[in-house]
Structure 1
């Protein structure tokens, strides 16, 4: 029975890693759909979010079942509780990628991003995807050192977010109200996506060390 129990714990970990891969791919494709005004890619991102939601539901059900049946303590209890919180972060990351794809779909056949802001959005997308990839590595290897480095990349995302607002407010370039709203929302989606990736890393640090980072 203990072997089955630990197999269930391993499955929870592998599900989290799978979720990081899916939300990273979703963000990469959402950014492409946004910048290239690609309706087909946008639709695929929106529909693919169902898979992330299904994984979260399966993980949560398995975790709650283990809590009820095994009444774990110490490290195992921390693993299960932390995994539930990680799955919530990752599910939210998938939602944020879907939100970006929905903006791309809404403005099709035009791009929601003005040419002058494309480089900033592209870099925000790159950082977001990299954060998701590293979150997967953090979980897979229980890599505390790597986890502690993720906030530095989040700082870069925050800087780009501030730059985006500065560009929107620059009186040298006039944007329509529609564009200003779209870009404001898009910037917020990327920024929150990065925050959730960092949250996953911080939860891993707690899982391994038992200490809040």
Structure 2
């Protein structure tokens, strides 16, 4: 059983991004709006797997430290994973948040941050895991889909579920339209969940996440 205690201390977040960083911005906006003490956490650094992305620019505009860890700069995927773990660990985070980070982490990263690494997925897991969750839900004819906030384990979108949000599938939806509505719910849910687990603490009992 993994557990993180509640307490008055403001939790330290490292956020990982690969693209535009809209989920990162949602976190930044909420922390600025409510204050780190009331929200329960503050972002101490933002990392990425590539240069020149808006997610890093958002972090820099907010005055946050950034780092980039590219797979191609390392001799193996395992070496990259170890380097990413070192880069994140340098900021001593209580939680790591994948805000659209499009790389699968490995054993070294999970050895350090397993049970503390939060991810989002644009479907209601365990249905439609993988890189095409929105497309797959449409192709299957699902009437509802949504988003899942979960802890990352060594599978693909198989970690313990923290929270889910439901989005109705409309007859006229294409992948883009449906994904945009899912993203709106996803941003709100991620902000809510990260704040709750930071403020209240949590424990993981098998597949069940209990926010204390």
Smaller-chain TM-score range? under 0.3
**Higher helix proportion:** 1
Structure 2 length normalisation: TM-score?
A: 0.28
Specify the structure having the higher radius of gyration (Cα): 1
Structure 1 length normalisation: TM-score?
A: 0.27
**Per chain length, whose mean CA-contact separation is higher, i.e. which structure has more relative contact order (CA < 8 Å, sep 6+)?**
1
